């Protein structure tokens, strides 16, 4: 099940670990561009853009993008999924 559509704003679970300054810079906040298909393997890839730093375009395997947080490795994280949708009001800028 794909939980996101183009234009959605999402945060990576590591946003929970940020100090106030990095949080204010919208670190680990991204805009969903869409889903692409890997030209060699046919694997679906999520295309997304950070709303901080270089604001380039990135891809990640869709399965990984939609995966749950490894709570054994990151027991302090409350977020269930690696990326979760947020409202633009939850951004600092």
Please state, in angstroms and rounded to a whole number, the distance separating the CA atoms of residues 5 and 20.
29
Mean predicted confidence (pLDDT) in 47-65: 96
Is residue 38 within 8 Å of 52, Cβ to Cβ? no
Per-residue model confidence (pLDDT) at position 91: 75
> Taking the model in full, what pTM does it have?
0.89
Q: What is the CATH number of the domain that holds 15?
A: 2.30.30
Tell me if 9 sits within 8 A of 31, measured CB to CB: yes
pLDDT tens, residue by residue, 10-38: 999 999 999 999 999 999 999 999 999 99
Categorize the per-residue pLDDT at 68 as very low, low, confident or very high, splitting at 50, 70 and 90.
very high
Query: Is residue 64 included in any domain, yes or no?
Result: yes
Average pLDDT, the chain: 93
Residue 89 covered by a domain: no
Show the domain range for 72: 9-81
């Amino acid at each position: 099940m794909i939980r996101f559509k183009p234009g959605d704003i999402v945060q990576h679970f590591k946003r929970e670990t940020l100090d106030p300054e990095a949080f204010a810079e919208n670190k680990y906040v991204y805009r969903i561009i869409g889903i692409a298909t890997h030209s060699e393997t046919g694997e679906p890839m999520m295309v997304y853009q950070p709303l901080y730093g270089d604001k380039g375009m990135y891809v990640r395997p869709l399965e990984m993008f939609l995966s749950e947080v490894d709570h054994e490795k990151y027991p302090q994280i409350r977020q269930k999924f690696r990326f979760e949708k947020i409202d633009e009001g939850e951004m600092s800028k």
